[in-house]
Amino acid sequence: MNKKTIKDIDLKGKKILVRCDFNVPMDEEKNITDNTRIVAALPTIKYLLENNCAVILCSHLGRPKGEFKAEFSLKPVAKELSNLLNTEVIMANDVIGEDAKTKAKNLQQGQVMLLENVRFHREETDNAPEFSKKLADMAEVYVNDAFGAAHRAHSSTAGVAAYLPAVSGFLIEKELQFLGNAVSNPERPFVAILGGAKVSDKIGVIDSLLEKVDTLIIGGGMAYTFFKSQGYGVGDSICELDKLDLAKEAMKKAEEKGVKLMLPIDTRIGKEFKPDTESKTVAWTEIPDGWEGFDIGEKTIEMFCNELKNAKTVVWNGPLGLFEFDQFAKGTNAIAKTLSEIDATTIIGGGDSAAAVKKAGLQDKMTHISTGGGASLEFLEGKKLPGIECLQDK
């Protein structure tokens, strides 16, 4: 997608409104437990400061549902940003109120301020034009760098672009480059790995990827819906009985398109949903009643990893098992390790797959880890993302 970035527009000395994704996890004391998303925004912020801009940052955090709630304040983010940038980040006490307007008006070149959580206003998620206009009134240029929220048509992700010249930051540019190339111009063989719990979350992606990939590997909870669709018992495993026809259609489409669709051949099952439950490995056709599938088995791990060794482009979205419990993380960890070792473009599609790769300590070995779970899924599906569509074309 050929969208203008901050390098394609004259920004020098201007006031810039930047939409970031600072929706970061915090503990009960409001300490940030993972600052990855904040760090990801730094290249764009630093570039704007180098060009003598006055930088106004905005983001959401959590789901305050249109009310001011102190536990969703962005103050801890301002503190973390101040440390990372080695300069004070001025915190506004509101979003479009007097404090924000005054601080924005007085903001000098080379200074950074952060507005309070945009979702403290219901108008944000409603994409209300008057709210978008008030946000836009603070600045001269709009920069979207929040890929994780680009699939939402909200005021701060899309609405403001009606009132200001709108371009992307470096993070969105990188996402479009890697995900865009994977979808439209992959080096082959192109392998996609889809995991996670539900077929319903991924059916659009499965459909879209079957038009593009050479091999589609399916694991995680949604594999059991595929097993069931072939008439096999799945015990107490997660299974969407209303999606059996979709699973059958996907297998039929793969056959028609000449795509190799790979399902697990054995599965690690457990008695209960707890870390230390009794477990064993069985063939995929022999899952007993009273047991639940929690991971792919050793033969499947070997089969999937062998397939990946020849790949030149790999897109992975969704873990292959209950990776939060160590005894059911083997499949997910083995895939992550294999991807870290092969000579290929490896793209991790955000969300749980990104968390699993980080947990395995292999994030630096991947070509690209997407910052948007839902957004990267919709992008792979071929949907138009409002936060991208609103940006100026090159």
Q: Which residues contact 255 (CB under 8 A, 6 or more apart)?
A: 261
What is the three-class DSSP state of 182? helix
Structure tokens at 331: 């499949």
The first and second tokens of residue 204, run together, are: 């659009």
Q: Shortest CA distance to 203 belongs to which of 145, 251, 271? A: 251
From the list 78, 59, 62, the residue with the least C-alpha distance to 25 is 62
In contact, 159 and 129? CB cutoff 8 Å: yes
Rounded-to-integer distance, Cα 231 and Cα 283, Å: 15
Pairing of strands 266-270, 279-283: antiparallel
Neighbouring CB atoms inside 10 A of 198's CB total 16
In terms of DSSP bridges, do strands 266-270 and 292-296 run parallel, antiparallel, or are they unpaired? antiparallel
Distance CA 250, CA 62 (A): 35
Is the separation of the CB atoms in 207 and 200 below 8 Å?
no
Query: H helices of the chain, where?
Result: 36-50, 75-85, 98-106, 122-126, 129-136, 170-184, 199-209, 223-229, 244-257, 298-308, 330-341, 351-359, 373-380, 386-389
Question: Two tokens at 266?
Answer: 């054995």
Q: How far is CA 364 from the centre of its chain?
A: 17
Active-site residues, by number, are: 37, 198, 351, 374
Q: CA-CA distance, 357 to 334, in Å (whole number)?
A: 10
| In contact, 315 and 285? CB cutoff 8 Å | no
